Chains A and B, each alone.
Chain A
């Protein structure tokens, strides 16, 4: 028994390991190629930078602390915007999914917003909310809120018919069906919505900061790009990508816990 478990573990480990080696290997190979190409002047490092330059410049910004003001600024906008989107989007989506009248009334507006690139409205937000945090928050909020609304609405309005029938057969009223079937059943959709919202919110943060203001990773990207400091652009991109990946992986890991009871037909 023990040795069997051990075998399974070893096999799993090998599989994991192989995928890490393959995926990581390609990245490392590309980085090495990039470094060589830049050292041998096949490409101009002023335009394309190089891994060593990026590391150097990243390290410098960390040691002199200049990067943190930007991370903090972007981070705060992200957190506030994301939380606000969750607080508004989740209940709104549930309401739209549950009450047919609500979705009939608000559906067209939401569909219109959903398909419009939010960044197109940034000049308006700046006029309405100023160049400070207000306009940025508005953009991040509007970017992140729709995936949440749409996912929660889909979850609550497409309940498993067999489960609602069981609930009805046991005498559940509509309120009870909501609490005992609709809400638990929509948890995986909530996590999917949160994952999508993460990407959209990050897009919103960078977009808003590129548009205006004097701090934040988006601002830094825009400024560094305009002054040909491509290594700084890369440092910012890497920070944002890393943050996005960590968020996404965490939510995915949480989501996996629900896979067991999703779609196995019981």
Chain B
């Protein structure tokens, strides 16, 4: 339903990512039972679109993102980037994980270079590119620092730069700022907003911060509790370029409340279960 609607409204812009009836399940190694994480989710993301997936923790949104990254194999359904099916990790996608996971024995510069190095890009060329993106995330002057010498926010900037430097077709963000404190998180949201305005990459972000999703996205997809299904899609028609000041806007507030309500009504069953226990 939602997919068809999108197809009509944005028919002129080519699709960057098309997901069709994706099913992801995990096998419990002890019992051999299959647990469904994602149940027949279809999605169509246009080039240059910023789409967020929101839902309760553990609803399967990270599994969904990992499948698109090519890190886990779906049970059925298809994922296509620019019409080509995804069979594993690839250079057309770059992931920013919630856990920063920088290589602790590498300097900032060498961490940012990592993806390019794996791909066999020439040292000099990789270096130039890396320096450009390090500057873009405002870490100029910290190239030769090691991760343990940086704050959490700075580490996450390195993480972002490491993904951006690969110049992927699609940037996949998995709760990228969830581990940061509130102030740093806002700062990073603003940073990401600016970066996105500059690069206009196609972005798929998973988050449970509703205000983060509204601030950054063109479209927000609400996942139900596990197994994840699409409950609703919400278009965010707030004008761009946006700034964090938008959070005081009445429409912003309205959207945020609406999404909050949706998540919690669909999750009603699960929440009450938790309370019973």
Contacts and interface: CB of A to CB of B under 8 A. Distances in A.
B148 to A, nearest CB: 5
Most buried by B among A168, A181, A261: A261
Interface string B89-101: 1110011010111
B148 A261 contact: yes
A261 B106 CA distance: 10
A176 interface: yes
A180 interface: yes
A214 interface: no
A180 B115 CA distance: 11
A169 B172 CA distance: 11
A160 B103 CA distance: 10
A196 B70 CA distance: 42
Contacts of A266: 100-102, 104, 147-148, 150, 155
B146 interface: yes
B67 interface: no
B97 A163 contact: no
Nearest to A259: B148
Most buried by B among A171, A262, A266: A266
A170 B90 CA distance: 7
A204 B99 CA distance: 45
Interface residues of B, number: 27
Given A264-B104, A266-B104, A170 B147 contact: no
Interface string B114-127: 11011100000000
Contacts of A11: none
Nearest to A177: B118
A260 interface: yes
B118 A171 contact: yes
A266 B148 CA distance: 7
A135 B117 CA distance: 48
B105 interface: yes
Contacts of A264: 104, 148
B69 interface: yes
A166 interface: yes
A62 interface: no
A163 B101 contact: yes
B155 A171 contact: no
B170 to A, nearest CB: 12
Contacts of A163: 101, 103
B103 A180 contact: yes
29 contacts: A160-B101, A162-B99, A163-B101, A163-B103, A165-B71, A165-B101, A166-B97, A166-B101, A168-B89, A169-B69, A169-B70, A169-B95, A170-B114, A170-B115, A170-B166, A171-B90, A171-B115, A171-B118, A171-B119, A176-B118, A180-B103, A180-B117, A184-B103, A184-B105, A185-B105, A261-B146, A261-B148, A262-B104, A264-B148
